[in-house]
Structure 1
């Protein structure tokens, strides 16, 4: 028997054993839930059947206890397996539960850290069963890192970023889930420090997404491509949020002090590389048929000319502040006021992110 057939046979036996154990180890409803999870994450190199995922969503909706049992089973599945197919399909299931399931999934998975089990920590995952499994193991690790960062971002938005030594303060979340939920504030109404903080987290999340580009044998695998499909669609909103914040920061540019202006310059430098990498990633995704081409956002180009313009304005602003310390002549002030207006017009020419956001919104309206 060929090695590949032997592996499939062994995987089938493991799945059947797990199903048999699940049927006798718990109550009827929890047992059905555990069986559905095993079937959705079995060793076969095919995406999970939708009916199994829907069954899990349905069974786990009965109570918070069922959600806890679901997360516990997923954690056990990830911790025990050394097969990349099982690990990736389990992570894909977690992604579906986080995006379509009850918000309690976020808490259960995130606060598992407090109980000593970080479900999405797959940094030491290795599948050594095949010669080409390194590419797949690498994708599992980067996919888990993205999900972990996304969950962190979701929790920060939901609970306002209040942390304890274990992560976010969860002492009262489980008993009173709605009491600590923070009202969502429009981006345009956020304070500057809030904007910088939110943008930093979005940049980290986008970096995690860019790290999910598969390599080697993983690039052509069906399960990997299906896993990418979901997070590629999520990345569209990450990009829209980043461009919206960039537009707000440019609108406020004249009001900012030198230190914040320098922050914006560094942000644009980082976004220049990120957007170039994102455009390349999207081009590859389109070439293999992930999502529809017209669903993708139009990526803004941040040119060196724009960076030079911001840098020049910061230098002029710094020189102006130095000049004001040694001169209070009214004529000089009037002249610099007109210079500031010219500089501001030049800076506002950078706010393509705002313009681009409007174009992307119009594009999405046309699709509807």
Structure 2
């Protein structure tokens, strides 16, 4: 039975290569590249043609014009196949294409094919359900990874354009100056998306009955490499954001960073459990497993302290502002005591006594208009208030009343005799 399936798969691959070789060359189809992709995604589950894998990567790195033929050939083969072997090899091929890190690949966006409901059609479901689940989980991650690459590249281009526009508006063209860091909230948002991708990666688990299959073992090498790459990105991103938060603490940013750090601590424990699971299945050797770096507990404590300190400072400033805005103090002299009246916005008043005469004016937020006659009388005779009766009181304008009165000079001039003229 296995020999018959292998022979049937070989015939299908040769027919596909022959059909691709006689196809017409267009902007979306390249017969040579299509033949290499068919060889890379053959039906042979006991062999992975890494030589043709690297030939595909060389085509992609040569020119961005080969990205469209690549996507057309891969999507056409993935849409037609009913074999989990071909589907898994196609996902491994696309995973390697994403690692090329060229702008044309980063602009792909969502994958042009759908394997979210993949089912192998060459064997019974009871025998292939584990392979089907593995292919679906792998596709889900790569699909979201490709979309995240597109989003990250677009936001980076927009940020650079905004920087260049700011330099032009400032009147300078210092292109060699170091680029500014993106906003802190944007960096924290990217960390959250990386953590979501990490959760999807940890869902790609081989079944105990399929872990020792050669093709699944090779796919797990790619997945484990990706897991450590994503986890290292998360740890480095957290280190950068923590440095920025410590330099300029803010409650909102610190709250988001605290959630990210707590999530990273949980994912570190889940990663250790995942590696232990792979080691038990034989998909990972004990010497091949690197040590998992955990998030220090001190970072979580520092973020909690920053949040509490910022909250306390904001609460104190708000209470002080409310006290300054809502309270007014009025001092009224009654006999030998001073009555201090405190009023609020609700019209309630509280009166206390003050034995010492400290307040001599009214402190209120209401304006009082003085007539012009009173102002003239105040300048000439002094303001008649309670302090005028004291012995030490001096009118600053009293000395001006003892001066000689000012008499304007007059000039008598004879009028001309207009009649005699």
Q: Give the secondary structure class of the aligned counterpart of 1:213.
A: coil
Q: Distance in 1 between matches of 2:295 and 2:188?
A: 21
8 Å CA contact retained: 2:220, 2:283? no
**Equivalent-residue separation in structure 2 for 1:56 and 1:317 (angstroms):** 54
Task: Give the Cα separation in 1 of the matches to 2:278 and 2:99.
Answer: 21
Q: Which entry has the higher C-alpha Rg, 1 or 2?
A: 2
Structure 1 residues 20-169: aligned runs within 5 Å: 20-27=18-25, 30-59=30-59, 63-100=63-100, 103-107=103-107, 109-110=108-109, 118-128=111-121, 129-130=123-124, 131-160=126-155
- Offset at residue 306 of structure 1 (A): 6.6
Instruction: Give the alignment's TM-score, normalised by structure 1.
Output: 0.69
Answer yes or no: is 1:265 the counterpart of 2:258.
yes
- Deviation of 1:83 after TM superposition, in Å, equals 1.0
Which residue of the other structure, out of 234, 248, 260, is the alignment partner of 2:226?
Answer: 234
| Change over 3 Å in CA distance of 1:84–1:308 after alignment to 2 | same
User: Once the 2 structures are TM-superposed, how far is the Cα of residue 322 of structure 1 from its aligned partner?
Assistant: 1.7
What SS is found at the alignment partner of 1:96? helix
Aligned partner (choices 190, 200, 213) of residue 205 of structure 2: 213
Is the CA contact (8 Å cut-off) linking 2:137 and 2:204 kept in structure 1?
yes
Q: Name structure 2 gaps, 5 residues minimum.
A: 159-175, 322-421
**Contact persistence 1:236–1:297 (CA under 8 A):** no
| 1:250-289 Cα deviation digits (max 9, x unpaired) | 3344533333332222222222221111122234445646
CA deviation after TM superposition for structure 1 residue 81, in Å: 0.9
Tell me: higher relative CO, structure 1 or 2? Use CA pairs within 8 A at least 6 residues apart: 1
Cα RMSD (Å) of the superposition?
Answer: 3.4
* CA displacement at 1:221 relative to structure 2: 2.0
C-alpha distance 291-229 of structure 1, shift in aligned 2 (>3 A): farther
Farther off after superposition, 214-223 or 23-32: 23-32
Contact 1:139/1:214 (8 A) holds in 2: yes
- Equivalents in 2 of 1:161, 1:80: separation in Å? 36
Contact 1:286–1:293, Cα closer than 8 Å, also in 2: no
1:224 to 216, 221, 246: 216
Secondary structure of 2:210's aligned partner: helix
Counterpart secondary structure, 1:70: helix
Q: Given the superposition, is the C-alpha separation of residues 258 and 11 from structure 1 closer, same or farther in structure 2, using an over 3 Å criterion?
A: same
Question: How far apart, CA to CA, are the structure 2 residues paired with 1:289 and 1:81?
Answer: 27
Contact 2:84/2:135 (<8 A) preserved: yes
With over 3 angstroms needed to count, the CA separation of the structure-2 counterparts of 1:290 and 1:190, relative to structure 1, is farther
Distance 1:269 1:6, change over 3 A: same
Q: Alpha carbons of 1:259 and 1:61: their partners in 2 closer, same or farther (altered >3 Å)? A: closer
Matches of 1:162 and 1:314, distance apart in 2: 33
> Of 12, 15, 37, which aligns to 2:13?
15
Partner residue in 2 for 1:274: 267
Separation in 2 of the partners of 1:264 and 1:59? Answer: 41
Instruction: Check 1:27–1:307 CA distance in 2 against 1; reply closer, same or farther (3 A cut).
Output: closer
Q: Is the 8 A contact 1:149 1:205 kept in 2?
A: yes
CA shift for structure 1 position 198: 1.6
Distance of 1:20 and 1:251 partners within structure 2:
58
- More off after superposition, 209-218 vs 197-206: 209-218
Q: Whose helix fraction is larger, Structure 1's or Structure 2's?
A: 1
CA shift at 1:320, angstroms?
4.0
Residues 298 and 75 of structure 1: is their aligned pair in 2 closer, same or farther, counting only changes over 3 Å? same
Q: Deviations over 1:298-339 (max 9, x none)?
A: 321565x875674465345423432333359xxxxxxxxxxx
| Equivalences for residues 196-207 of structure 1 within 5 A | 196-207=188-199
Shift of 1:84: 0.7
Q: 1:136 Cα shift?
A: 1.0
